[in-house]
Amino acid sequence: MFVLQNMSVNKHYTIVASRNFLQSKWGMQEFELAYAEAMKHTKTNFIIIILKEDLDRTGLREDLRLLLTTHNYIDATKKPEQVPERHR
């Protein structure tokens, strides 16, 4: 309940996406709450995703895969010179 109350007053929720996070029941529960909060209030920039490592996207949850394909995210796996000029 405490987490849900805090999410309703936060402007953003940050996910550092890693294999450990994706395998964590607590991490996935937090993500579900944040996703529901974002959809409830149509907060398009509520969830900020940082990819900590390369992840097999075919194995991701559908809602997280949708966010990665429809929203901007920070890819911490790439060196600055690997990022296209238009994204710098």
pLDDT at 45: 67
Domain ranges of the chain: 2-80
Task: Report the SS3 class of residue 21.
Answer: helix
More confident residue, 69 or 85: 69
Domain 2-80 matching CATH 3.40.50.10140: the answer reads yes
pLDDT of 8 strictly over 70 = no
pTM equals: 0.73
Alpha-helical (H) ranges within the chain are 2-9, 19-23, 25-40, 62-70
Q: CA geometry: angle at 38 spanning 3 and 27, to 5°? A: 45
Q: Could you report the per-residue pLDDT of 18-40, keeping only the tens digit for each?
A: 999 999 999 898 888 888 888 87
pLDDT of 11 strictly over 80 = no
Tokens in use for 3? 């987490």
CA distances from 5 to 10, 15, 22, 30, 51 (A): 9, 18, 23, 12, 26
Average pLDDT taken over every residue of the chain: 80
pLDDT at 4: 55
